[in-house]
């Protein structure tokens, strides 16, 4: 439960929601702000009416058929983290069977493309990923590009060459 997870927890509490979280390690009590820590993700999932992912990708698929099955019937799933964390076939099955009532998605496994099956589901709200859509981030991206151009024009390698 990093910075983004804690910000979401703060908003959830404003609506009277009880906040449960799973993290590699437990937060200090002051950062938990009343949230309930679960060391075991599988033990936490059956208690989640809403599951929202906020973690980096790169560690492989997290949400599998098995884990979607551990959520209570009618749960809501939100993924604004990384599309690679979700087995999209398993999510589609959970949504079409009614086991998962709805999903909010702004990331997909094969971005910028996305699985068109989700487009036609009435219980899916999908948006383009908005993670970089802040003035500060966009400014930083622009200045980073300018730094690359300046370096190349000065005969140095671009700091962020791909």
Mean pLDDT of 56-81: 94
Burial class (CB in 10 A: 0-12, 13-18, 19+), 5: buried
Helix, strand, coil percent values for the chain (each to nearest 5): 40, 15, 45
- For residue range 3-17, list pLDDT tens digits in order: 899 999 999 999 999
Tokens of 134: 């802040």
Alpha helices, DSSP H, located in 83-157? 88-97, 116-119, 135-153
Higher model confidence: residue 2 or residue 162? Answer: 2
Residue 1 to residues 6, 9, 50, 60, 134, Cα–Cα distance (Å): 6, 9, 15, 19, 21
Q: What are the residue numbers of the active site?
A: 82, 111, 129
* Of residues 136 and 44, more confidently modeled: 44
Tens digits of residue pLDDT in 116-130: 999 999 999 998 766
């Amino acid at each position: 439960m990093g910075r983004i997870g804690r910000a979401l927890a703060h908003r959830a509490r404003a609506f009277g929601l009880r906040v449960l979280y799973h993290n590699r390690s437990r937060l200090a009590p002051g950062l938990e702000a009343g949230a309930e820590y679960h060391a075991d993700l599988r033990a936490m999932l059956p208690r989640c009416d809403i599951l929202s992912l906020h973690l980096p990708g790169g560690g492989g698929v997290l949400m599998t058929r098995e884990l979607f099955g551990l959520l209570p019937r009618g749960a809501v799933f939100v993924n604004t983290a990384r599309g690679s964390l979700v087995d999209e076939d398993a999510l589609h099955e959970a949504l079409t069977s009614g086991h998962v009532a709805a999903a909010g998605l702004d990331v997909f496994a094969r971005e910028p493309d996305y699985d068109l099956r989700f487009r036609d589901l009435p219980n899916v709200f999908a948006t383009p990923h908005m993670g970089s859509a802040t003035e500060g981030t966009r400014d930083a991206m622009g200045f980073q590009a300018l730094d690359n151009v300046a370096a190349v024009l000065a005969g140095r390698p671009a700091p962020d060459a791909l």
